[in-house]
Amino acid sequence: MPSLLVTSTTSAAIPRGSIRVSVNGFPSFLPKEVDKIRDPFARDMAKRIERLPVKISFSTSSIMSSCVKPLQERGTEPVVLLHGFDSSCLEWRYSYPLLEGAGIDTWAVDILGWGFSDLQMLPPCNVAAKREHLYQLWRKYIARPMVLVGPSLGASVAMDFIANHPEAVSKLVMIDASVYAEGTGNLAKLPRIVAYAGVSVLKSIPLRFYVNSLALNKVSLQSSWDSMNVGRLHCLQPWWEDATVDFMLSGGYDVRNHVKQIKQETLIIWGQDDQIVSSKVALRLHHELPDSTLIQIPGCGHIPHVEKPELVVQYILKFIRHE
């Protein structure tokens, strides 16, 4: 577990969204299993999660959308942190306090269909819906060009967003980016009943633990177990299976044609020991992006912002500040 030194500054408070706190200090909408998580950084960030109403065209009512937002409005260039496939804003539990402590207006946003938003109405969770949801959240609550940060599949989410709303993004950061996949491939052709069976396996503890061990490089069994519990928490939401099946059958993200069209200055961060997306992809991405910088982190796996948060934040801050 990283040891983080965080400083803070103060300014005008941002109005809070919907957050009812239970007796243990966590928002009442989080699964009760959150209290079993031992990682103090995950526990602290979970207590910061709130839901903001986001109005979208494909629903008659607003979606109460989960995120962690700045406690204070400092007027700096906003940094918006996405997460990877089937994850949540808790993925940023180590890096978020460092960015915030550096005086950056930082948002950690749950992508529609994952995380802890209220999806009881079962909205569509395909690519177009995820894009509109992120845009409407940005338009209502941020409303100025942002530094968009996408790890793993979150890089595809970011790239798709920029292709449709370039005015909303000033700079792009991609971390161990998964941007060359052909969507969900043959999974999109599965009969719905088979898709539900597959998704139920996706949240199983053995599979989650195995994937977590691949994603992290040389961590203790206890740390890997707790990280698995953090990464699996959102799967315990009652609508998680429906949202995930909807995304799977929709075809998912295919942003290969967008890569060379990205005009924003881009920082590519990559763990050299990534066992999920080869570091060779980093070199290809760097070559195809016209205005990009590549930084590779030795001794690091697929999620550097979890394994090496101090380094990742250091690189992001230098990129933002042009140092």
Residue positions annotated with a catalytic role:
152, 274, 302
Q: What does the angle CA 122 – CA 128 – CA 134 come to, to the nearest 5 degrees?
A: 80
Residues contacting residue 282 through CB under 8 Å, at least 6 positions apart: 176, 177, 268, 270, 294, 296
**CA distances for 88 relative to 60, 67, 187, 202, 232, angstroms:** 25, 9, 22, 15, 9
SS3 37: coil
Q: How far apart are CA 53 and CA 226, in angstroms?
A: 31
Residues contacting residue 53 through CB under 8 Å, at least 6 positions apart: 17, 18, 62, 63, 64, 65
Q: What does the angle CA 68 – CA 252 – CA 113 come to, to the nearest 5 degrees?
A: 35
Burial class (CB in 10 A: 0-12, 13-18, 19+), 128: middle
Q: How far apart are CA 168 and CA 143, in angstroms?
A: 8
Nearest to 46 by CA among 111, 100, 96, 3: 96
Q: How far apart are CA 93 and CA 83, in angstroms?
A: 11
Count of beta carbons in the 10 Å neighbourhood of residue 323? 7
Burial class (CB in 10 A: 0-12, 13-18, 19+), 191: exposed
